[in-house]
Structure formats: structure tokens, C-alpha cells
Amino acid sequence: MANALRGEVALVLDGQPHVARLTLGALAELEGQLQADGLAGLVARMDEGRFSSSEILAVVVAGLRGAGWTGQARDLTAVQIGGGPLEAARIAARLLALAF
């Protein structure tokens, strides 16, 4: 069960429940993957509804890794995310909102 007070967000991968959270280490990893505008630019784009699927994937992966998942982004390419791409975008936005 996800604890929002800890910045956790629940998600379902291939029917299995998982928890994601953006720790400082996960945020640093995420920032290293982003283009020049970094996390501030990503948050601004999410607020404006201008974000890419690769950015959503990067946030979800960082959140999963922050909660202890040891996989890589490529591991999620064949995974069914409960709720589909729209839910993945909602999860990414929620992770960022809870982190900041």
C-alpha cells in the first residue's frame, strides 16, 4: 500500500502491485537522463501538459527504482501498466508533485 506522506504512489505492472517514490537518489538519476532544462523544465512541461512518453517512462522508472525496484527502463517496454499510458502519465505527475 502506497503512503502519500512518504511520497509513494501505487501502480500495477502486469497485474502485480508496486510502489514508486522519488528519493533524492532517484531524482538525481532522473535529472541525469533529462535534456538541458532538467527537473524544473520537466515539471513545467508536465504542468502545461507538454511532455513526451519517454519522459513519463523516465519518471516512472526513477520512482520504481527509488522504491527499491532493480529493473531498467527497457524492462517496462513489454509490461502492461494498469490503466495504460494515461495512468502512467498520471503516476508520473503525482510522483513529481509529491517530490516537490
17 pLDDT above the threshold of 80: yes
37 pLDDT above the threshold of 80: no
Predicted TM-score (pTM) of this structure: 0.90
For 86, the domain range is 4-99
Could you tell me the sign of the dihedral formed by the alpha carbons of 12, 50, 47, 31, in that order?
positive
The mean pLDDT of 8-29, rounded to a whole number, is 95
List CB contacts of 64: < 8 A, sequence separation 6 or more: 11, 18, 20, 71
36 pLDDT above the threshold of 70: no
SS3 content of the chain, % helix, strand, coil (to 5): 60, 10, 30
pLDDT grade, residue 41 (50/70/90)? confident
13 pLDDT above the threshold of 90: yes
19, containing H or E segment: strand 16-20
In angstroms, the CA 50 to CA 62 distance is 19
More confident: 59 or 43:
59
- Total number of domains constituting the chain: 1
In angstroms, the CA 100 to CA 86 distance is 21
